[in-house]
């Protein structure tokens, strides 16, 4: 009872303070385990990275490393399409460079300077994470909701994984939530800009942006008379898709790639990817693998439980009304179905599916917030415990 009253008494400033303290403390603890070297977050692997004169203190681990090493590479020169530069060999140029916004932002923050890029990769993601919290507060104020709902994003576990390894899910999620904010504010121009930035952060955001934009267009048709202004808004909504196609075509011709980049190889038969991942991750042969097994299944259980909570909160009788709530609910349901056909490459480890689910989880949190649904106490305890375990794991490991 006391805990509930304490949560309900949280103000906007307290929510931001809690969020900043938690996220910043996580960053400080993780960098301390890396010898206060921010390149610890890059997770560079010897298969792709060698020492470079610009970054003689770059931490390089044995093996393949992680995706952050390629964002680190493009933060040096975002439009450089050479396979090897700045000590990094890019595995799939056309795939890596299409997620251009995060490294470009880092490049801008660094003012073109190279030495502090590892620092700016982390700070940019940290700011995006805090920005998501702030946007939740802004959305909550529109609906006159208690500020404590803005704490929900702290349980988007993939956000911490993105922050820990310099990947672009936080940028994707920030601009997606920003797009929802402008949709609620009925600003089609700013909505269009936000979804464009989300797509250029991670093209996988189209899984949610595609149906969302279609439904926004249908809402415009429903709520407005057919005139030149409506046609202009419709054309505006089509611009992001056109630009991303032009961008992919530009990359294809510049890099001389055989085909445009697509993610069809990440799809499979319904539930096959989950079953494959469960089999691959059930390994009790040593302590480390037991630990990884527990995490994979805990995250799967959490997501299944979370999805059931969100779906229970949806007013299905109002689903066809094309209100903000019904539109977001339809998009969430679409993402839920889509998650079932994601293939083995996504579910092969929890780093894969938990990061990719960040946007989906945040969408679910927004729906719960708009429906003013309190979280089941048992689920909340499970979430807090899992968050604690995740943070410890991310702090002490590469």
Distance separating alpha carbons of residues 358 and 353, to the nearest angstrom = 9
> Using one digit for the tens of pLDDT, what is the confidence trace for 119-139?
999 999 999 999 999 999 999
Question: What residues are paired with 267 via a beta bridge?
Answer: 342
Gyration radius (Cα) of the chain, Å: 21
pLDDT band at 5 (very low <50, low <70, confident <90, very high): low
Residue 266: per-residue pLDDT = 84
> Using one digit for the tens of pLDDT, what is the confidence trace for 342-372?
999 999 988 889 999 999 999 999 999 999 9
Task: Specify the pTM.
Answer: 0.95
CA distances from 221 to 184, 218, 227, 232, 358 (A): 16, 5, 10, 12, 31
The alpha carbon dihedral of 238, 354, 59, 124 has a sign of positive
Domain limits of the chain?
Answer: 2-15+129-396
- Kindly state the helix (H) or strand (E) to which residue 5 belongs, with its residue range: helix 2-8
DSSP 60: E
pLDDT band at 27 (very low <50, low <70, confident <90, very high): very high
Mean pLDDT of 216-223: 94
> Using one digit for the tens of pLDDT, what is the confidence trace for 75-124?
999 999 899 999 999 988 888 988 999 999 999 999 877 889 999 999 99
Mean pLDDT of 257-275: 79
Mean pLDDT of 337-345: 95
Per-residue pLDDT at 159 exceeds 60: yes
Mean pLDDT of 279-308: 93
Helix axes 377-396 and 287-313, enclosed angle (nearest 10) = 140
């Amino acid at each position: 009872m006391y805990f509930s009253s304490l949560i309900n008494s949280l103000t906007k400033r307290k929510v931001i303070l809690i969020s900043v303290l938690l996220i910043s403390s996580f960053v400080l603890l993780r960098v301390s385990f890396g010898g206060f070297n921010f390149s610890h977050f890059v997770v560079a692997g010897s298969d792709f990275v060698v020492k470079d004169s610009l970054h003689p203190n770059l931490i390089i681990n044995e093996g393949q490393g992680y995706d952050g090493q390629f964002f680190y590479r493009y933060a040096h020169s975002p439009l450089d399409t050479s396979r090897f530069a700045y000590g990094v060999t890019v595995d799939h140029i056309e795939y890596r460079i299409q997620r251009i916004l995060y490294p470009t932002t880092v490049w801008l923050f660094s003012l073109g300077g190279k030495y502090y890029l590892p620092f700016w990769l982390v700070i940019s993601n940290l700011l995006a994470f805090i920005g998501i919290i702030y946007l939740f507060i802004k959305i909550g104020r529109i609906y006159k909701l208690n500020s404590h709902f803005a704490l929900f994003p702290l349980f988007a576990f993939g956000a911490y994984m993105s922050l820990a390894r310099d990947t672009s899910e936080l940028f994707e999620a920030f601009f997606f939530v920003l797009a929802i904010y402008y949709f609620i504010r009925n600003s089609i121009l700013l909505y269009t800009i936000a979804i464009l930035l989300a797509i250029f952060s991670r093209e996988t955001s189209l899984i949610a942006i595609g149906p969302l934009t279609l439904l926004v267009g249908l809402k415009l048709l429903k709520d407005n008379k057919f005139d030149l202004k409506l046609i202009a808004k419709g054309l505006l909504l089509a611009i992001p898709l056109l630009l991303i196609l032009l961008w992919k075509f530009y990359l294809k011709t510049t890099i001389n790639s055989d085909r445009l980049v697509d993610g069809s190889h990440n799809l499979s038969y319904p539930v096959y990817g989950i079953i494959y991942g469960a089999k691959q991750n059930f390994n009790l042969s040593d302590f480390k693998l037991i630990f990884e097994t527990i995490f994979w299944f805990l995250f799967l259980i959490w997501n299944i439980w979370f999805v059931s909570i969100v779906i229970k909160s949806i007013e299905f009788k109002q689903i066809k009304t094309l209100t903000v709530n019904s539109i977001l609910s339809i998009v969430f349901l679409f993402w839920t179905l889509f998650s079932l056909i994601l293939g083995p490459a996504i579910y092969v480890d929890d780093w894969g599916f938990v990061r990719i689910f960040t946007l989906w989880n945040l969408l679910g949190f927004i729906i719960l917030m708009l429906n003013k649904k309190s979280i089941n106490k048992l689920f909340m305890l499970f979430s807090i415990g899992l968050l604690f375990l995740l943070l410890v794991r991310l702090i002490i490991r590469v």
